[in-house]
Amino acid sequence: MSSDVRVRFAPSPTGFLHIGGARTVLFNWLYAKHTGGTLVLRIEDTDRARNTQEAAQAIYDGLRWLGLNWDEGPEASGDHGPYFQSEREAIYQSYLDKLRAANRVYDDAGSIRFRFAREKVVVDDVICGHIEFDMASSETNPDMTIRRADGSWIFHFVNVVDDIEMKISHVIRGEDHLSNTPKHIQLYRAFGATPPRFAHIPLILNKDGSKMSKRDQGASLNTYIDGGYLPEAVRNYLCLLGWSPKDNREKIDLKEVVRLFELEKVHRKNAAFDLEKCTWLNGEYVRELSDERFHSLARQALEKAGFDLSTFPPDYVRAALDTCNGKFKIFSELPGYCGFYFKDDFELNPDGVAKHFVAENKPRLLAVREAFAGLDNFDAAKLETGLKATAAQLNVKVGALVHPTRLAVTGTNAGPSLYHLLEILGKDRVLARIDRALNLLPG
């Protein structure tokens, strides 16, 4: 399917992809996919002070990580380039000439101003509806600068020129640009061009209702890329920031979002950002990973945290990681969760030590050690039977043995199934760790 729909993502490179930008490009991408249209990537780099190459790279990396491909733009083909504003000087000059010829600009202390038509401008927004802006007064709406005295262009002008030249049919962007839209419509008219359809998507707010800014927790896409999130989960979460399927499902396949996505259905009200929900959703996706991908991501997360897995037999690593599957939400939790498999000198959780490494537990842990030492088959079932029989002999609850044992062999009181992890660690390691703990126990 191909259509006349042409949308664009037009980021100003700032060094990283902001979650708001990621959501904007996602909605453009969804609309392009839904309609069979084209997504253009245009880098709005008129701010020459920044290092465009590197900052643009962060944008490509972010989009690629999210799995959002663009049809035209840098590192893609397209007949409407160049796709960097910094390379479009001649085009802007020719458009400025058009405005000059129509007597719509004047010089003002070295800068150039665009003369607004003094009239009402209606923005007929697909999402926000019909909004009237009264631009009659030059007091409240002074003529706008389109070029600074130093020759650099103002965003409004180059943005509109590019949207005309790139034949953009729908401008889908954050609601913070809604108030700019009447100015943009004035420029379209001055150029004799038909404005595109505008669709302003709701702002993303923090949980406390404040507008999300670059510095807020979870604002940079790097948080997710570096933090062990799955791109499909983050993308799913971003879909829900201002859109939802009718049945309010939260975990939803991208193909289905593409099928259902319509601009008219984008919410009018602001979207509340909830990192916990995104993290929860990630856990749902982790549960469904294929074995192969789970292992590969798990290994990456551990190696990133400094573990050298190559020193362990592959079967050992595999079995250890299998006990963690379904137990954590993001891969960055994994080294803390299962690091004990891959190092002996782990720290002991101080709260756990205070609670469980007490004098009355010494004979108990000793009894557990003896029971384990006597096992020929160090497998989960035998370990469970052995520990439970010991509890019965000592006339204590199973928990009274489980907690000190787990703390002794893993360093914490939460983790994979105890009997399975004991089996995987193997007799020698388990006994050595229990012996070390026994030395720490008073009494």
For the record, the structure tokens of 380 come out as: 């989960």
In the bound state with ligand GLU, the residue whose beta carbon lies nearer, of 38 and 361, is 38
Rounded least distance, CB 44 to ligand GLU, Å: 4
In the bound state with ligand GLU, the residue whose beta carbon lies nearer, of 171 and 275, is 171
Q: Which one of 1, 6, 7, 12 is in contact with ligand GLU (CB under 6 A)?
A: 12
Segment near ligand GLU (CB under 6 A); pick from 10-18, 48-56, 126-134, 196-204: 10-18
Residue 201 in contact with ligand GLU, rule: CB under 6 A:
no
Q: With beta carbons less than 8 A apart as the criterion, state whether 182 and 135 touch.
A: yes
Segment near ligand GLU (CB under 6 A); pick from 4-12, 98-106, 130-138, 215-223: 4-12
Q: Which one of 98, 167, 177, 362 is in contact with ligand GLU (CB under 6 A)?
A: 177
In the bound state with ligand GLU, the residue whose beta carbon lies nearer, of 53 and 385, is 53
CA distance 259 to 48: 40
Number of residues that this document lists for the chain: 443
Reduced to 3 states (helix: H, G, I; strand: E, B; else coil), residue 147 is strand
Reduced to 3 states (helix: H, G, I; strand: E, B; else coil), residue 93 is helix
From the candidates 120, 207, 214, 251, give the one annotated as an active-site residue. 214
Print the binding letters for residues 274-313 with ligand GLU: x by CB under 6 A, - otherwise. Answer: ----------------------------------------
In the bound state with ligand GLU, the residue whose beta carbon lies nearer, of 160 and 365, is 160
50 burial type by CB count under 10 A (0-12 exposed, 13-18 middle, 19+ buried) = middle
Q: With beta carbons less than 8 A apart as the criterion, state whether 11 and 46 touch.
A: no
Residue 44 in contact with ligand GLU, rule: CB under 6 A:
yes
Segment near ligand GLU (CB under 6 A); pick from 5-13, 311-319, 383-391, 424-432: 5-13
CA distance 273 to 23: 11
DSSP code per residue over 205-253: E-TTSPBP-TTSTT-BTHHHHHTT--HHHHHHHHHTSS---TT--SS--
Residue 206 in contact with ligand GLU, rule: CB under 6 A:
no
In the bound state with ligand GLU, the residue whose beta carbon lies nearer, of 270 and 332, is 270
Reduced to 3 states (helix: H, G, I; strand: E, B; else coil), residue 424 is helix
Measuring CA to CA, how many Å separate 395 from each of 385, 387, 401? 15, 12, 11
For the record, the structure tokens of 65 come out as: 């990580």
In the bound state with ligand GLU, the residue whose beta carbon lies nearer, of 164 and 171, is 171
Residue 11 in contact with ligand GLU, rule: CB under 6 A:
yes
In the bound state with ligand GLU, the residue whose beta carbon lies nearer, of 184 and 369, is 184
Residue 20 in contact with ligand GLU, rule: CB under 6 A:
no
Beta bridge partners of 124: 130
For the record, the structure tokens of 139 come out as: 């007091």
Q: What is the DSSP letter of 422?
A: H
Cβ-Cβ contacts under 8 Å for 304 (sequence gap 6 or more): none
Q: With beta carbons less than 8 A apart as the criterion, state whether 48 and 86 touch.
A: yes
Encode burial over 313-338: b for 16+ CB neighbours within 10 A, e otherwise. eeeebeebbbbbeebbbbbebbbebb
Residue 234 in contact with ligand GLU, rule: CB under 6 A:
no
For the record, the structure tokens of 175 come out as: 């609601």
Q: With beta carbons less than 8 A apart as the criterion, state whether 343 and 307 touch.
A: yes
Rounded least distance, CB 40 to ligand GLU, Å: 11
Q: Which one of 173, 200, 235, 406 is in contact with ligand GLU (CB under 6 A)?
A: 173
In the bound state with ligand GLU, the residue whose beta carbon lies nearer, of 173 and 433, is 173
Would you tell me how many other CB atoms lie within 10 Å of the CB of residue 289? Answer: 17
Q: Which one of 7, 10, 40, 59 is in contact with ligand GLU (CB under 6 A)?
A: 10
Rounded least distance, CB 259 to ligand GLU, Å: 25
Q: Which one of 37, 121, 156, 159 is in contact with ligand GLU (CB under 6 A)?
A: 159
Rounded least distance, CB 162 to ligand GLU, Å: 9
Would you tell me how many other CB atoms lie within 10 Å of the CB of residue 310? Answer: 9
Active site residue 214: yes
Rounded least distance, CB 211 to ligand GLU, Å: 14
Segment near ligand GLU (CB under 6 A); pick from 141-149, 171-179, 234-242, 292-300: 171-179
Total binding residues for ligand GLU by CB under 6 A? 8
In the bound state with ligand GLU, the residue whose beta carbon lies nearer, of 10 and 365, is 10
Reduced to 3 states (helix: H, G, I; strand: E, B; else coil), residue 278 is helix
* Residues marked as catalytic: 214
User: Which residues are near ligand GLU by CB under 6 A?
Assistant: 10-12, 44, 159, 171, 173, 177
